Amino acid sequence: MLRLERRAAPSSVMSVVSPLVAAVGMLVTGFLLFSALGKDPVEAFYLFFIKPLSTTYGIGELLLKTTPLLLCGLGLALGFRANVWNIGAEGQLTMGAIAGGGVALWFGDSDSNFAMPLMLLAGVLGGMAWAAIPAFLRTRFNTNEILVTLMLVYIAQLALSWLVHGPWRDPEGQNYPQSQGFGDAETMSILIDGTRVTWGIVYALVLAVVAWVFAQKTFAGFRMQVAGLAPAAAAYAGFSEKRNIWIALLLCGATAGLAGICEVAGPIGRLQQQISPGYGFAAIIVAWIGRLHPIGVVFGALLMSLLYLGGESAQMGMGLPSAITGLFQGLLLFYLLAADLFITFRLKRVVDAPEPKPAARVGSAA
């Protein structure tokens, strides 16, 4: 008989292996799913995971979609480490897009050198302002940040919808709910010819390194990690919980806001009703797959980006609904959470002995 037993110390090997186990679990489930749908699984896998990467343009798309996922994932990972459950990166992204996009529209077609830096700054500040609301409510009024950040997602999206239907609508846009296209100086330049990749991915990768330094090498990062792993120890050491909450939310607001402006000033090129297919939510999974570690988040973002591309490719090539991406994302997180069990527990073979006192039993046999 096998029984779960708590490890003496969490296994660092398992914490790296577990995302791989989860990915394999997702692939096996995908294989079964494709077979059940009467599709050739090998062809489906090829369409999903190989074909999108077979061209330079495809690699470019991968990096393009990685950018917002990585930016949001970094901010969320820093917050989750400190036990701050910001799940509203999508709203912070939207607010960054609105603030930065507003600056872009204000510049119009001007070719000022200040346009792009000011847009990026406005995007960052917009996201931070939106994240400051739950930070304030949590620290001042003890209000759960999970629900507040989520409600603010809907409010931000409705605000964007109002702007592109009303005050910021392009008068020559044939009534489409979208703003005027941004001018040349207000659009991010292309990084690699023949693709749509912008400088955004460079910012994101640099920030991943910055986030790693912050998390691993600074006192503020250390305080946040202690608060997440051992809240009582953090309180005893006199680390301010409020400060951690503010830092966690503002950092994520900043990166998510930057993601938002990089999207509208990059591949989209204008403000419109739909600017993100749920990057802010997918970034929750990215943060988790990346083990809440900034460098791990880079790999998580690449994988999640591939899922988006694969969904599109499978839709075009096989007529599978693109919603399959969301399904895979959810599955991946489920498998990851389950596999994480083996970070703190291990399976142990036990001889059938009389049941010890209930107090000595750990969990239940799997």
Partner 1 sequence: MNPLIPMIASTVVAATPLIYAALGETVVERSGVLNLGIEGMMLIGAVAGFAATLGSGSDTVGFIAAAAAGVALSLIFGFLTLNLQTNQVATGLALTLFGIGLSAFVGHNLAGLPVARLEPITIPGLTAIPVIGDLLFHYDIMVYLSVALFLAVQWFLTKSRSGLTLRAIGESPGVAHAIGKSVLTTRYLAVAFGGATAGIAGAYLSLVQTPMWVEGMSAGKGWIALALVVFGTWKPARVVIGAYLFGGVTQFQLFAQGFGLPIPTEFLSMLPYAATVIVLVIICRDPKTILLNQPASLGHSFHSAA
Using CB under 8 A as the criterion, which residues of the chain lie in contact with partner 1 when the complex forms?
A: 6, 85, 87, 137, 141-144, 146-148, 150-152, 154-155, 158-159, 161-162, 165-166, 281-282, 284-285, 288, 321, 323-331, 333-334, 337-338, 340-341, 358-364, 366
**Cβ closer to partner 1: 193 or 355?**
355
**Cβ closer to partner 1: 117 or 363?**
363
CA gap 273, 3 in Å, rounded: 52
**Cβ closer to partner 1: 64 or 285?**
285
**Cβ closer to partner 1: 136 or 222?**
136
**Cβ closer to partner 1: 22 or 63?**
22
CA gap 210, 249 in Å, rounded: 17
**Cβ closer to partner 1: 5 or 109?**
5
Least distance (Å) from partner 1 to the CB of residue 110?
29
Pick from 174, 168, 208, 188: nearest CA to 71: 208
Least distance (Å) from partner 1 to the CB of residue 342?
10
Q: Which helix H or strand E contains 252, and what residues bound it?
A: helix 241-263
Q: What share of the chain is helix, strand, coil (3-state, %, to 5)?
A: 70, 5, 25
Q: How many CA atoms lie within 13 A of 243 on its CB side?
A: 13
**Cβ closer to partner 1: 237 or 337?**
337
Residue 75 CB burial class (10 angstroms; 0-12, 13-18, ≥19): buried
CA gap 321, 108 in Å, rounded: 38
DSSP state of 180: P
How far, rounded to the nearest angstrom, does the alpha carbon of residue 339 sit from its chain's CA centroid?
A: 20
Residue 158 CB burial class (10 angstroms; 0-12, 13-18, ≥19): exposed
Gap between the terminal Cα atoms of the chain: 10
Angle formed at CA 104 by CA 100 and CA 107, multiple of 5 degrees: 140
CA gap 125, 92 in Å, rounded: 10
Least distance (Å) from partner 1 to the CB of residue 87?
6
Q: Which two tokens stand for residue 37?
A: 């749908």
The secondary structure of 75-139 as a DSSP string is HHHHHHHTT-----HHHHHHHHHHHHHHHHHHHTT---TTHHHHHHHHHHHHHHHHHHHHHHHHH
Least distance (Å) from partner 1 to the CB of residue 167?
10
Least distance (Å) from partner 1 to the CB of residue 243?
18
Least distance (Å) from partner 1 to the CB of residue 275?
15
CA gap 333, 338 in Å, rounded: 9
**Cβ closer to partner 1: 2 or 210?**
2
**Cβ closer to partner 1: 158 or 316?**
158
